[in-house]
Amino acid sequence: MKNSSIFGILTLTLALMPSHFGWAMNFEVHPGIYTAFEYSDNYFGRTHDIQSESTYEVGPSLGLRWQTPTFSFDLASRLAKSLHRKFHEDDSTEAEIASHATLSRTHQKVGLIYEYLQTRWRGSLAEPPGLLRRNTGGANYAWEMTQKATLSLGYAYTDYNWREPHEDEKTQDGNINLTYLLTPRNTIDLAYRYEYYDYQISQDVRVLNTNLAWLYAVTSRLHLGFTSRYTKEERGDLPNEDIYDLSALGRFSITENTRFSATGGQSWLVMEQQDRQSIYIMSASLEHAFDQDKLAVDVSRGYTAEFTTNLYGIYDTKTALLTGEKVLLRTLKGVVQIAIEKTKPTAGTVGEKETDTVARASLIWDPIEYVTATAIYEHLQHENEISDTVRENRYRMVVEARY
């Protein structure tokens, strides 16, 4: 799967690039070495019999860039042997490939992506433990049809392969979006999205989303409007569920570098064999950027269709996200991220209330070109309604040098 996917994206890349680009081609290859050390104070993510562990990784890495005036191709990859101090049975090979190709023409742009990941590392304690192999391939297309109309299309396919007892999953995600400027002050945005979840054991799921938004420019800094969404979820022989959302929308540019947006309204959940439910929904976002420094705060609440390895159904979901980047010195940058997600199963979904928290702080040092050292601290926490809270602290050091 991995080799055929790599071959496929390279073939498409060559097909997209016309031969006359050669005269202006810029091609770079940067081989290197990747090393990492991580200490965890709760390696298995348990509430009892807590075990610490130290993990070492070392292996080659490769960066590749291919660029012309209208075409670009980027690839970053690493292959590392992961060695454990105590639990040698968990020794494995860590691998990652991330590639992206873009072809730009007048008023049009085509993009292709391929990603491969093989890892034991978990981004949060909500994710199942064990070895994961993930393949992702996708394509997107954007067309500026006229001065008033823009069309975009996208498709992505992802294959999640877990070691037993976790269930494998394949997902497909297609979307189409049309933005049209009715008048200099009125804009309409129409979006359609289709998601398909193919489970190894559980019922397969189809989720269809249709979204309509209208925005009116009151001034150059203030925009007001509304947004509506319809979501249909089908789970084979299980009862279907529909979600209807209606919200007011506002966007305001506080300064040239600071923007605020918010929505608020009502959401209705209609189930085949249950009474209708409704909740107030909202979202708010504050973004500030100055030079290379960035700050973003996002909060939201609403019904969400969640179909992953550990979530299966419709949930009343609340999220909060804080992200900050600060250039401390010419070669030193600090990054902070705090993410909190609370999920509450609706009447037609089996499960319990859960709260997942991930806090991460890192220092990134780039002393010279192609050499990066990153120090990372992570605090992971997962709370269940009826069981004990799980916590894990990680300390990680990553060094990568390329030629």
Tell me the per-residue pLDDT of 69-95, one tens digit each, with 9 for 90 and over: 999 999 999 999 999 999 999 999 999
**Of 251 and 123, which is predicted with more confidence?**
251
pLDDT at residue 9 greater than cutoff 80: no
pLDDT at residue 215 greater than cutoff 60: yes
How confident is the model at residue 349, as a pLDDT?
87
Q: Mean pLDDT across the stretch 319-339? A: 96
How confident is the model at residue 24, as a pLDDT?
61
Residue 332 to residues 9, 159, 321, 373: CA-CA distances in angstroms? 35, 37, 24, 10
**Which residues in 262-271 are b (16+ Cβ under 10 Å) and which e?**
bbebebebeb
pLDDT at residue 5 greater than cutoff 70: no
How confident is the model at residue 14, as a pLDDT?
47
* pLDDT bucket at 7, cuts 50 / 70 / 90: very low
Q: Mean pLDDT across the stretch 230-240? A: 90
- Sequence-distant (≥ 6) Cβ neighbours of residue 352 within 8 angstroms: 345, 384, 385, 386
**Of 359 and 200, which is predicted with more confidence?**
359
Q: What is the pTM of this model?
A: 0.87
- Pick from 49-58, 161-170, 325-334: least confident: 161-170
